[in-house]
Amino acid sequence: MSAQDNSAQQQAPDSALSRPQLEEIVRELEAAMEETRQWLALFHRALVCRLRPDPEVVTEDAHRMSRFGRWYSTNRDDDIFSQPAFAMLVGMHQGLYAHAAILAVRGWKDDGIPAGEYDALLHKIDSFNEQAGRMARAFRAALSDLDPLTGTNTRMTMERELMREQQRMRRSGRPCSIAIADIDRFKSVNDTYGHQAGDRVLARVTRIIEDTLRPYDSIYRFGGEEFLISLPDSGPEDARRVLDRVRKTISETPIQIDKGDPLSVTVSFGVAQLVPRRSLKDIMERADRALYEAKNNGRDQVVVWTAELV
């Protein structure tokens, strides 16, 4: 395996990145490849026609004047740029610009440039575009695991991560609880205000949940107006306390859905403890049964599954 392939494998898109951040990364990587193709055309025009090289090719620190270079310079302190694949990509970008500047000046002032030097430049450009393309595909794949409306992870990602959490529990013995959250009377929001208003409620409730949960908790779009929340290092009563804080914050935060009065929204929660040797399906059914009990008891509350709820 080449160093480039190995580095690309190390570039695992951070699950903490938001959908807008992932979209920006994909957009800038794809733009960098197109920009490199356009920049190479300027290089070839000057070389073939024996013209003074374009400033975009030979200006000192030309790579920093490019769109990719400006984007990197603006965001270089972000954690994502400390990952090996990005460090390699930036180094490749700087290297090909520096090499091209030397060859462009030699091609203009001298009779020509050695074929080996020219081939080496093309190899650098191809390597840059291949690396950028691999990374763009990786981040685009991460986007496919995000719900487009709420920006949360999807059910497919949820199942993978909950299985890993079960494995962690087997090793460490530390508890983990899950909860199914359901927006109360959500159908009436759609029926009264329209589906666009319903989408706004979903997105806003998601943001409140994310902002109120602990940093190491996770939320997933479970389906419709339901979400699944993973609460590591939490037994059922710990989870109840965390979720009761979330529930209270939602009920105290009116949501503006149009030019009229803001809408008050509540959420019900059903909690179950993750058990290493029990299937995820069974555990989610327990959480769903607890949620059903919360709905029957008047909504806007947290209910923990017990054997009596079977």
Distance CA 135, CA 153 (A): 20
Report the SS3 class of residue 204: helix
251 within 8 A of 229, measured Cβ to Cβ:
no
Give the type of residue at 137: R
Dihedrals phi, psi of 189, to nearest 5 degrees: -65, -50
Q: Which residue has the tokens 């709820």?
A: 309
Catalytic residue among 225, 226, 237, 285: 225
Region of 151 (left: φ > 0; alpha: ψ -120 to 50; beta: rest) is: left
Q: Max alpha carbon distance in the chain (Å)? A: 89
Burial class (CB in 10 A: 0-12, 13-18, 19+), 274: buried
Q: Could you confirm whether 225 is annotated as catalytic?
A: yes
Tokens of residue 130, six digits: 């291949």
Cβ atoms within 10 Å of 118's Cβ, excluding its own: 15
User: What is 93-125 written as a DSSP string?
Assistant: HHHHHHHHHHHHHHHHHSS---HHHHHHHHHHH
Burial class (CB in 10 A: 0-12, 13-18, 19+), 3: exposed
Distances (CA, A) of 239 to 96, 235, 246, 270: 53, 6, 11, 10
Residues serving a catalytic function are 225
